[in-house]
């Protein structure tokens, strides 16, 4: 039997035939990077390869790096191996990586979701022999409602708060989730942004992603200057002195983890909107089937139950121990 096209080294996922890593967590010579979240785009690699859409955020986050970009769908030869990027639907610019060698094709999903969100390039299944899939939400309890329904809930919450003379403080990851909300929400009032969100907004706007006007929160901005505003901030900014200027305010968080009542309660959030940039249970199964791959390697989340379920379906599935956080840490945009 031929050796695996992709293997695990202490640095991360490695292609021995091509001599490159994919989303490595320790410094390597050549890194293919699926997207700009911090558990995938790490500092210290000698050379980076990513999509042109993902590169500006990665440069913003990592500072000066040696990087090249490769457009979606365009093949590139790296030694005897051919690689290409394909939309993952996770955040703007995010990619799956297709790796081909001597007729054998492996695909690394990176983080992905199957529902089109109106901003990120929609997920495109890629036929392959082996699919390395994330499974952050790989349990049957995770089933997302369609985005328009969740957005309608957020809009109703915002409108009700504004009617009650309150600010709406919405926590969302600063890259991906925040912009997805911005692009989808109706214009019900002023939208204020934490600096971490606004920096990403400006980068994506400059790239041509359609985002509505937003105002960065500066010291003179308070609930009085912008009554009825929606404030988009990273989760870490809630319950801080920074947030106090918006009182009286209602707080909420948009995250896939909000589907679990216990997590919502532990975070002390009365309101949670279950909106995730990762595939839910059905999305994962749909994506796996769409690849036609007989071999699946599960990483990044509920790997053991998900792989077991795939084995029950007759697939050759196992788990792959990676160092992607796959939880609700700020970097990952769950």
Residues of this chain that interact with Zn ion (CB under 5 A) are: 37, 39, 111, 324, 332-333
Whole-number minimum distance, CB 225 to Zn ion, in Å? 34
Taking the least distance from each CB to Zn ion, the nearer of 78 and 196 is: 196
> DSSP secondary structure string, 143-195?
-PPPHHHHHHHHHHHHHHHHHTT-EEEEE--TTTHHHHHHHHS---S-EEE-H
Whole-number minimum distance, CB 301 to Zn ion, in Å? 9
Would the CA dihedral through 117, 120, 239, 40 be positive or negative? positive
Whole-number minimum distance, CB 134 to Zn ion, in Å? 7
How many CA atoms lie less than 13 Å away from 108 in the CB half-sphere?
Answer: 30
Taking the least distance from each CB to Zn ion, the nearer of 39 and 100 is: 39
Taking the least distance from each CB to Zn ion, the nearer of 37 and 42 is: 37
Whole-number minimum distance, CB 221 to Zn ion, in Å? 30
Taking the least distance from each CB to Zn ion, the nearer of 108 and 169 is: 108
Taking the least distance from each CB to Zn ion, the nearer of 273 and 324 is: 324
Taking the least distance from each CB to Zn ion, the nearer of 100 and 332 is: 332
Distance (Å, rounded) from C-alpha 151 to C-alpha 289? 29
Whole-number minimum distance, CB 306 to Zn ion, in Å? 15
Whole-number minimum distance, CB 207 to Zn ion, in Å? 18
Backbone angle region of 23, left / alpha / beta, with phi > 0 → left and psi within -120 to 50 → alpha: left
Whole-number minimum distance, CB 5 to Zn ion, in Å? 22
Taking the least distance from each CB to Zn ion, the nearer of 106 and 324 is: 324
Q: Is 2 exposed, middle or buried (0-12, 13-18, 19+ CB in 10 A)?
A: exposed
Whole-number minimum distance, CB 19 to Zn ion, in Å? 24
Q: Is 240 exposed, middle or buried (0-12, 13-18, 19+ CB in 10 A)?
A: exposed
Would the CA dihedral through 184, 190, 194, 195 be positive or negative? positive
Distance (Å, rounded) from C-alpha 222 to C-alpha 312? 55
Distance (Å, rounded) from C-alpha 114 to C-alpha 57? 22
Secondary structure string (H, E, C) spanning 94-155: CEEEEEEECCEEEEECCCCCCCCCCCCCCCCCCCCCEEEEEECCCCCCCCCCCHHHHHHHHH
Whole-number minimum distance, CB 247 to Zn ion, in Å? 32
**Residue with the two structure tokens 């000698």:** 46
Taking the least distance from each CB to Zn ion, the nearer of 72 and 242 is: 72
Taking the least distance from each CB to Zn ion, the nearer of 5 and 88 is: 88
Distance (Å, rounded) from C-alpha 203 to C-alpha 57? 7
If we measure between CA atoms, which residue out of 34, 33, 8, 18 comes closest to residue 100? 18
């Amino acid at each position: 039997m031929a050796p695996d096209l992709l293997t695990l080294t202490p640095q991360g996922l490695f292609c021995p035939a091509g001599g490159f890593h994919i989303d490595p967590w320790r410094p390597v010579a050549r890194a293919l990077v699926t997207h700009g979240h911090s558990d995938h785009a790490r500092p210290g690699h000698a050379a980076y390869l990513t999509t042109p859409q993902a590169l500006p955020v990665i440069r913003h986050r990592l500072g000066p790096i040696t990087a090249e970009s490769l457009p979606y769908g365009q093949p590139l030869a790296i030694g005897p191996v051919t690689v290409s990027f394909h939309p993952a639907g996770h955040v703007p610019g995010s990619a799956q990586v297709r790796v081909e060698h001597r007729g054998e094709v492996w695909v690394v999903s990176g983080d992905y979701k199957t529902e089109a969100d109106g901003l990120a390039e929609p997920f495109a299944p890629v036929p392959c022999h082996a699919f390395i899939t994330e499974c952050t939400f790989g349990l049957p309890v995770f089933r997302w409602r369609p985005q328009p329904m969740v957005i309608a809930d957020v809009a109703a919450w915002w409108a009700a708060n504004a009617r009650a003379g309150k600010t709406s403080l919405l926590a969302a990851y600063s890259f991906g989730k925040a912009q997805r909300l911005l692009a989808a929400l109706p214009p019900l009032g002023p939208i204020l942004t934490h600096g971490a969100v606004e920096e990403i907004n400006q980068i994506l706007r400059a790239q041509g992603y359609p985002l509505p006007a937003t105002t960065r929160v500066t010291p003179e901005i308070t609930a009085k200057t912008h009554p009825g505003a929606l404030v988009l901030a990273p989760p870490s900014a809630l319950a801080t002195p920074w947030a106090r200027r918006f009182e009286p305010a209602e707080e909420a968080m948009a995250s896939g983890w909000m589907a679990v009542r216990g997590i919502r309660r532990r975070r002390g959030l009365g309101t949670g909107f279950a909106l995730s940039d990762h595939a839910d249970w059905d999305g994962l199964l749909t994506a796996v089937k769409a690849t036609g791959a007989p071999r699946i390697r599960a990483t990044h989340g509920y790997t053991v139950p998900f792989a077991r379920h795939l084995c029950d379906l007759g697939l050759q599935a196992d788990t792959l121990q990676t160092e992607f956080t796959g939880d609700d840490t700020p970097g990952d945009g769950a």
